[in-house]
Structure 1
Amino acid sequence: MQETLNIAAYKFVPIDDAAELRETLRAKTHELDLKGTILVAQEGINLFVAGTPDSVRGFLAFLRADPRFADLEAKESWSASQPFRRMLVKVKREIIRMDHPAIQPATGRAPGVDAATLKRWLDQGHDDAGKPVAMLDTRNAFEVDYGTFEGAIDWRIHKFTEFPKAVQKHRDELAGKTVVSFCTGGIRCEKAAILMHELGLDNVLQLDGGILKYFEEVGGAHYQGECFVFDGRESLSPDLKARANGVSARASEDPDIAIKR
């Protein structure tokens, strides 16, 4: 039996034809028999789709033929069966809701740190300048409960729109440290890092590709537990193996849950 290829990808890029693009993507995913969730907004695209390897890679090639998505990077993982029940393609106000319109990642992203460098910093207990590293989990509390980096800061937010107020309340905790914001696949920590820079916290980085890219490149070093994912697999271990065998209704039936990364 052929395994199912799952991809997660996003890109902040101006999109002025969101409604038309939605119809194009809806038709293409139907043609390729893909399932999952795609959100399109003026600020960019956010997607998580699954299907046969040929269909998924064909869809990526189709997307990358559009100059706006030519450099779209996708994180891959595998499952024994299709983790989604249907295909949703939706136009939204934001591809990840923060309710902070001044944050526009398409105009310039915050600096990032790659997985190998972060592991080295965590191994040695400080960054290359000798500063302590503060790992800041930007995910919702229920996600954090599945697993997170050792000693990570967790403000127990219940939705990402609470993050800006949480930063204002706790910013003094981050002073004098190199802050690495992280999330499942990179999209939330990208907005979070930009916000923190705008609030005057200069030494803030985002973990490039999020937890899933970290798992892919360096495994589970300094990470405890698993990573909640937004499909029927429920969560992935550091070797990117699925925890659940069935389809999680919470993730697969709610497009706003199923696409957060």
Structure 2
Amino acid sequence: MKNYQTLLYYCYSHIDNAEQFAADHLAFCKSLGLVGRIIVADEGLNGTVSGTPGSCKTYMDTAHADLRFAKTDFKIDEVDEPSFIKMHCRYKPEIVHSGLRDPKSIDPTKETGKHLEPKEFMEMKDREDVVVLDVRSTNEHNVGRFKNAVTLDIDNFREFPAKINELAQYKDKKILTYCTGGIKCEKASALLLKEGFNEVYQLHGGIIKYGKEAGGKDFEGKCYVFDNRVTVDVNQVNPTVVSTCLNCGTISSRMINCANPECNEHFTQCEACGWKLEGCCSDTCMSHPRKRPYDGTGYYVKVPQPINVEKISKRQYKKMGSPVTSATSSS
């Protein structure tokens, strides 16, 4: 057993006074010595937290003791060190931004795709009447995806609704959706059902659970995760690498953030190009005056940014209904 664990989880369940719950929950997590990132909304929880096995057990036991979160499925990874540096717990309108004008038009607690356990998903995915759909962003599926999966060119899940028309050609098929831990599929499958797709399924527990319970068979590349690890191995059966270095085209699964904080592009870069370009995606970013020191990891701790007085002035003018002149607008 390793010294720390990382928990990935979500739960759709109504939370009264969710803003206050977020503040109280942050204090609770800190009292356990946990680090991580949790989103709280009226519709539920979405989180990844990391800490000692004892702290993680206390967290899971406390969640399961609460009727609202009793059915939460925790994906547990053993790690050598905590996967975050700080603990954040924030209130937001949705635990996954759907991009809908009326987010309440879909409710995963009432209607969503049929859940498939990993071994059921593995058995169905290669049938002729099935389409496997990746509902994650381009950055995520570029570094790893299921063999023959349909992928979408999106930067964020909120762009998914606008892409549904592109999937109309598959309406006569069984649609098997998947994502990292399952949370995006809850809304994606609900949206597909609402748009007239008749047979919609989702991989219960996502790629992470599939790797643990089905050996990750036919998942090509690595799985992108939203913590310091950036990517994790999934496939123990027939592993391969599908991503290539942005700069030289060499096959590589190494993802970093651009050292230029004003770019901060998340991309694949081999180790050789990383040192050559000092962790930047281009020569332009390499010469940027605010370029961060590169230590070979391509991971940077977020720090408070200087206050942009021009942007604040612009927002104030808009609130007052006054025209914004070129003198106050920022590029």
Fold match (TM-score > 0.5): yes
1:72 matched to 2:75? The reply is no
Please show how residues 61-140 of structure 1 align to structure 2 within 5 Å.
Answer: 61-100=61-100, 101=103, 102-122=105-125, 125-126=126-127, 131-140=128-137
Which residue, out of 194, 201, 205, partners 1:198? 194
Which structure is richer in relative contact order (CA contacts within 8 A, separation 6 or more)? 1
Q: How far apart, in 1, do the equivalents of 2:156 and 2:2 lie?
A: 36
TM-score, normalised via structure 1 length: 0.87
Question: Is contact 1:38-1:88 (8 Å) kept?
Answer: yes
CA contact 2:15–2:41 (8 Å) conserved in 1? yes
1:243 is displaced (CA, Å) by 7.5
**TM-score (normalizing by structure 2):** 0.69
Q: Deviations over 1:195-215 (max 9, x none)?
A: 000000011111111111111
Code of the residue aligned with 2:108 in structure 1: it is P
Identity of aligned residues (%): 32
Structure 2 counterpart SS, 1:248: coil
C-alpha separation between the residues in 2 aligned to 1:186 and 1:248? 26
Structure 1 residues 109 and 175: CA distance shift in structure 2, 3 A? closer
User: Where does residue 156 of structure 2 map in the other structure?
Assistant: 159
Are the equivalent residues in 2 in contact too, given 1:9–1:74 (CA < 8 A)? Answer: yes
1:1-261 mapped onto 2 (5 Å cutoff): 2-100=2-100, 101=103, 102-122=105-125, 125-126=126-127, 131-168=128-165, 170-238=166-234, 248-249=299-300, 253=302
Query: Structure 1: where are the runs of 5+ without partners?
Result: 255-261
* SS of residue matched to 1:63: helix
Mapped partners of 1:209, 1:199: distance in 2: 24
Quote the Cα distance in structure 2 between the aligned partners of 1:103 and 1:62: 29
Which consecutive aligned stretches of 4+ in structure 1 deviate over 6 angstroms post-superposition? 242-245
User: Are residues 160 and 246 of structure 1, via their aligned partners in 2, closer, same or farther at CA, if it must alter by over 3 Å?
Assistant: same
Q: Mind listing any 5+ residue stretches in structure 2 that lack a counterpart?
A: 237-252, 256-295, 304-331
* CA displacement 1:87-132 (0-9 Å, x = unmatched): 001000000001221111123332121110111223xx31xxxx52
- The aligned amino acid for 1:211 is I
Let me know the Cα RMSD of the aligned residues. 2.2
- Larger Rg over CA atoms: 2
Q: How many positions carry a matched residue from both structures?
A: 244
Asked if the contact 1:178–1:204 (Cα under 8 Å) also holds between the matched residues in 2, the reply is: yes
Shift of 1:65: 2.0
